[in-house]
């Protein structure tokens, strides 16, 4: 028996099978509408919406419940401009020199380049950091599976924002250490990705690409 306190699982809900299927179908159809957007409108989004989506993200499971993430929410034009300048400098290096021909060929269908106007246009940039450890009363506390945990939280964040009727872009300027400096984040935090959040531009287009069918990305082992 554990010496630590437990409480009854009162939040779990079971649904009759037909309702289970209908709920899941509706959920799948809704998330299947999500597209990564690169053309953003400057229409404002209320901060409380972002806060609720972040609360949803923070429900993600995490290694030893360390919740090893930090979300820096940027809405100020000055900070957005700094981030755009730093990101575009890295991206020019990436597209001009660092990326292999193979990598550039893989990106070609997405139509991306070193220009990142959305970093200033979109109302919010959420810089996601993972914490390799935390500091409690001067003591280092190790975090477990911070990459996996932060990935799970980010997935829920993207899904929550989509559910709210907002668009996102997962942007990964590489390297992105500049985010620590611009956002004043400590060295135990590693930038994980930059999430661009807002409404799509009126004339937004997306690449004509498809998702793999179920049988291409699953295997079922029944014996
Ligand atoms: N970070 C660059 C390049 C890029 C890389 C991958 I992998 C993508 O899926 C998309 C872009 C950029 O943001 O343009």
Residue-level pLDDT at 220? 98
- Mutate which of 172, 191, 196, 207 for ligand 1 pocket (most atoms within 8 A of beta carbon): 172
* Mean pLDDT in residue range 208-213: 96
Pairing of β 189-198 and β 124-131: antiparallel
Q: For 106-124, what is each residue's pLDDT tens digit?
A: 999 999 999 999 999 999 9
* Mean pLDDT in residue range 73-85: 98
Measured from CB, residues less than 6 Å from any atom of ligand 1 are 91, 94, 107, 110, 112, 171-174
- Mutate which of 87, 107, 175 for ligand 1 pocket (most atoms within 8 A of beta carbon): 107
Q: Would the pLDDT of 202 be above 90?
A: yes
* Mean pLDDT in residue range 122-129: 98
* Mean pLDDT in residue range 160-182: 96
Residue-level pLDDT at 193? 97
Q: Would the pLDDT of 1 be above 70?
A: no
Confidence of residue 2 (pLDDT cuts 50, 70, 90): confident
Q: For 134-150, what is each residue's pLDDT tens digit?
A: 988 989 999 999 999 99
Helix (H) or strand (E) holding 22: helix 17-31
The per-residue pLDDT of the chain, averaged, comes to 97
What gap in Å lies between CA 124 and CA 156, rounded to an integer?
17
Q: Would the pLDDT of 130 be above 80?
A: yes
* Mean pLDDT in residue range 39-53: 98
What gap in Å lies between CA 190 and CA 128, rounded to an integer?
9
What is the number of the ligand 1 atom nearest to the C-alpha of 99? 3
* Mean pLDDT in residue range 74-97: 97
Q: Would the pLDDT of 174 be above 90?
A: no
Output the CA 84–ligand 1 centroid distance in Å: 15
Query: 3-state DSSP call for residue 25?
Result: helix
Residue-level pLDDT at 136? 86
Residue where the block lists tokens 């021909």 = 101
Domains (range + CATH), the chain: 37-201 (3.40.109.10)
What gap in Å lies between CA 104 and CA 96, rounded to an integer?
10
What gap in Å lies between CA 197 and CA 93, rounded to an integer?
25
Percentage above 70 pLDDT, the chain: 100
Residue-level pLDDT at 190? 98
């Amino acid at each position: 028996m554990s010496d630590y306190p437990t409480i009854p699982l009162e939040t779990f809900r079971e649904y009759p099978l037909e309702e289970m299927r209908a709920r899941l179908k509706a959920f799948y159809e809704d998330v299947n509408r999500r597209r990564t957007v690169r053309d953003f409108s400057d229409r404002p989004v209320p901060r409380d919406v972002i806060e609720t989506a972040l609360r949803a993200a923070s429900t993600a499971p995490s290694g030893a419940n360390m919740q090893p993430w930090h979300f820096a929410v940027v809405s100020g034009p000055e900070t957005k401009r700094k981030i755009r300048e730093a990101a575009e400098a890295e991206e020019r290096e990436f597209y001009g020199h660092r990326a292999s021909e193979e990598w550039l060929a893989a990106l070609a269908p997405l139509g991306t380049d070193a220009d990142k106007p959305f970093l200033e246009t979109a109302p919010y940039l959420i810089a996601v950091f993972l914490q390799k450890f935390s500091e409690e009363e001067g003591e280092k506390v190790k975090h477990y599976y911070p990459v996996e945990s932060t990935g799970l939280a980010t997935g829920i964040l993207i899904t929550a924002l989509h559910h709210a009727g907002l668009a996102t872009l997962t942007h990964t300027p590489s390297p992105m250490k500049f985010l620590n400096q611009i956002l004043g984040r400590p060295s135990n935090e590693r930038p994980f990705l930059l999430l661009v959040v807002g409404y799509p531009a009126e004339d937004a287009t997306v690449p004509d690409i498809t998702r793999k069918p179920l049988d291409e990305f699953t295997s079922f082992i029944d014996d």
